[in-house]
Structure 1
């Protein structure tokens, strides 16, 4: 397949802008030039990259989304080659956008980003938090190159490197009688009110821990907010199961919390660094992946 980097840039601009007219305005070039570039790429590929929707603009087809992900990667590599030619020996530079699952982000992302930028000041690390499904979609569309996720129902088109294993633990109010115990069994917890982290995949995971023992949790409260969950537990609405461990034992409302391990603990959740398997990683991504391995290896039990 024959194409130019300019054609790829025009194609990506159309996908981002949603129409040829908007892309032409953004790039300050003529609409026919962009239309011709897109048409040439579609002829070369033998398929359509966009669905033409009257009054709604252009939407990428499945083939278009797959091609766009690779096109963005190729353009990033071209930028790296150009940068290397301009600044040989000056080290790595450019930007890298990292995705992070919402419950992991406040605990790990600030320290991770600060430490990485201290070792790689030439790389501008941007990040966005989101749901497991949303971040996977952003990876596959090329919006993100890397994402920190749990290994829960990941798309088979993603490649995931395990960075740490986070075992589930019991979160209790400091005044709860069970807080005096060294460990807790799921069988006794199943009889008590539970505050459930009500996020897609997370809720199924926590329920599966009980189902594996032939038990069903008694869910009293549900919330998609990690900090509201901690405050509800601290105020005595029930216990919760979680995997990520904040450095503080206080909820937002000031209530004190304690963490207790499960007796005969089930396997932990794998924290992974995910990327699109078919896309060749940029040097910036490789540098970050290498740094993340060391960061989480050192973090150990504080995960």
Structure 2
């Protein structure tokens, strides 16, 4: 049985889903709230399902049916825009908005570089990054807040497809005055640091990743401080509070608090972190998100000068 809904209704729905508030959505769309409510009601009638849960004090939340409609409608609306451009002979230059999830510790390293390359290739697309920890990004993907996310591999479940862009090995970080800092080119053993105070980066999954390294070697670290910020960890190390384990390396050894840090290669074969592009399974990607994916592959994938790229369930991802 055919269903009848309009592009306008879908666009209205997408705005309400993004803002989670009918009044705010009506103001952004420059329509009356009754017009907007009527459009959403007609969509719900056509699909025979509630698209939002009405919360008395917290606005609206997408239902499971609403989440599925949001993920499916993004690519559908983009195709409609491209059809309009084709009829008007305006070419198929990508345009519109794209929201990409970004694991917060990665953002300072990756977001500016990716944005510069993407904007040069697709100047009519407005990209915004939704930063968060691993858990909040998983939920943002499932809720349709962002189409894809650049994040680490920890905690990614079977409901997601991912493309591994880069494998980043761990390293030990010591202050510039540490005895080992005098020969930074010489790999060190994590076993040699077991009695020194550890500054542990405290992020869900990441914390367990680092602690598992000690377990693999049959040792227990002497944790002195547990810190949630990447740059805070570096500053603690630079000021002599201990050493740390990290993956991302900065081009500068200077820290915000003053003083320098020195990265040391680890001689043990410890597992790297995988930086991946992640999507929900079953979500049809828009051309904008596929273009973003290609920029990331060019920057960090195989042949880019970064570590090798590997596809995981790539037949479903691409």
TM-score normalised by length of structure 2: 0.84
1:25 deviates by 4.5
1:110-125 equivalences in 2 (<5 Å) = 110-125=112-127
The answer as to 2:271 corresponding to 1:293 is no
Partner of 1:169: 171
Name the SS for the 2:105 alignment partner: coil
1:193 deviates by 0.8
Judged with a 3 Å threshold, the aligned counterparts in structure 2 of structure 1 residues 224 and 13 are, in CA distance, closer, same or farther, namely same
1:268 deviates by 0.8
The answer as to 2:175 corresponding to 1:183 is no
Provide the C-alpha distance between the structure 1 equivalents of 2:168 and 2:240, rounded to a whole number of angstroms.
25
1:224 deviates by 1.1
Contact persistence 2:85–2:91 (CA under 8 A): no
Contact persistence 1:193–1:238 (CA under 8 A): yes
Contact persistence 1:72–1:142 (CA under 8 A): no
1:283 deviates by 1.7
Match of 1:62 among 61, 64, 83: 64
Match of 1:254 among 248, 255, 258: 258
1:173-252 equivalences in 2 (<5 Å) = 173-179=175-181, 180=183, 182-252=186-256
RMSD: 2.5
TM-score normalised by length of structure 1: 0.88
Name the SS for the 1:70 alignment partner: helix
Provide the C-alpha distance between the structure 1 equivalents of 2:92 and 2:167, rounded to a whole number of angstroms.
36
1:232 deviates by 0.6
Partner of 1:5: 7
Provide the C-alpha distance between the structure 1 equivalents of 2:226 and 2:89, rounded to a whole number of angstroms.
53
In terms of mean alpha carbon deviation, does 32-41 or 225-234 score higher? 32-41
Judged with a 3 Å threshold, the aligned counterparts in structure 2 of structure 1 residues 76 and 216 are, in CA distance, closer, same or farther, namely farther
Q: Deviations over 1:162-185 (max 9, x none)?
A: 111001111111211233362222
The answer as to 2:126 corresponding to 1:92 is no
Q: Deviations over 1:271-303 (max 9, x none)?
A: 1112233222222222221221121142426xx
Name the SS for the 2:81 alignment partner: helix
Q: Deviations over 1:29-79 (max 9, x none)?
A: 454544443333334434322223335443322332332232334323323
1:107 deviates by 1.7
Contact persistence 1:167–1:265 (CA under 8 A): no
Contact persistence 2:196–2:222 (CA under 8 A): yes
Which runs of 5 or more residues in structure 1 are unaligned?
none
Contact persistence 1:73–1:142 (CA under 8 A): no
Partner of 2:53: 51
